[in-house]
Amino acid sequence: MASKEQKEQISNKNRIDDLKYYFGEDADEWIDKKEIKKDKVVDTWRNKSTSEYPPYLCTKCDRYWSYGLTQIHKKAQFYLQRSMYGGLPCDTNTCNNCL
């Protein structure tokens, strides 16, 4: 059975092959493989509902945090305002800064 990384590589190769078929074989000169991977990450996170990345309370620093996308389309951890999320019943999980 293929690992998650192998499946991603196959999917990226399929997307590149689709572009080559559509634009011709010399499209290889301008296809940016890093952009294809980044677009897939953005699409994956865009299609998720907000309930799929809920807020957490860090067990060490006692701050609320959640995952989201940065301006450069990378998954990152963000701290949430205690004034909005304070007292919110949520799962506890150690944040990346306290690991």
Does residue 16 carry a pLDDT above 70? Answer: yes
Q: Is the pTM of this model over 0.85?
A: no
Q: Is 56 exposed, middle or buried (0-12, 13-18, 19+ CB in 10 A)?
A: buried
Average pLDDT of the chain is 78
Q: CA 36, CA 98: separation in Å to the nearest integer?
A: 32
pLDDT digits (tens, 9 = 90+) for 19-35: 777 777 677 676 676 66
Does residue 83 carry a pLDDT above 70? Answer: yes
DSSP β-ladder status, 75-79 and 91-92: unpaired
User: Given pLDDT bands bounded at 50, 70 and 90, which one contains residue 3?
Assistant: confident
pLDDT digits (tens, 9 = 90+) for 45-76: 566 666 677 889 999 999 999 988 777 777 78
| 60 conformational bin, left if phi > 0, alpha if psi -120 to 50, beta if neither | alpha
Q: Could you give the percent of the chain with pLDDT greater than 90?
A: 20
- Name the more confident of 43 and 23: 23
